[in-house]
């Protein structure tokens, strides 16, 4: 499942299962490319993983809380714990590997 952040639900969303959070900016070209790749991954993995997109500029509190330093940044959570993170545009196999480590 791929969805845009609903702030009130974020803590609850990442608390259970494998959740990949994409901190992105709408003005960043690698973020735009990554959006296509994440949609493709959603098609491949279906409900095995939840992908949440967090707009970097609109959510400074979450950026600070999760110590995100730039965009795009992918943070992989499992049951609320951060398992791994990658900065910059990543290829599909790298992202799949991140997710598989959390499944």
Is 23:56 a contact under the CB 8 Å cutoff? yes
Catalytic residues: 28, 31
In contact, 78 and 17? CB cutoff 8 Å: yes
Q: Which is nearer to other proteins, 47 or 69 (CB)?
A: 69
Residues forming the site for other proteins (CB under 8 A): 27-30, 32-33, 36-37, 40, 69-70, 73, 85-94
Whole-number minimum distance, CB 99 to other proteins, in Å? 14
Q: Evaluate the CA torsion angle 28, 30, 65, 7 in order and state its sign.
A: positive
Report, in Å, the least distance between residue 8 CB and other proteins. 29
Burial of 43 (0-12, 13-18, 19+ CB in 10 A): exposed
- Write down the least CB distance from residue 31 to other proteins, Å: 8
At residue 87, φ and ψ (nearest 5 deg) are: -105, 145
């Amino acid at each position: 499942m791929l969805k845009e952040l609903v702030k009130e639900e974020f803590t609850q969303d990442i608390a259970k299962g494998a959740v990949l959070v994409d901190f992105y900016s709408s003005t960043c070209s690698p973020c735009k490319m990554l959006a296509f790749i994440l949609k493709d991954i959603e098609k491949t993995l279906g409900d095995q993983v939840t992908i949440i997109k967090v707009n970097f500029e609109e959510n400074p509190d979450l950026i600070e809380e999760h110590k995100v330093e730039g965009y795009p940044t992918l943070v992989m959570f499992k049951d609320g714990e951060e398992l791994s993170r990658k900065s910059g545009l990543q290829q599909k196999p790298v992202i799949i590997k991140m997710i598989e480590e959390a499944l």
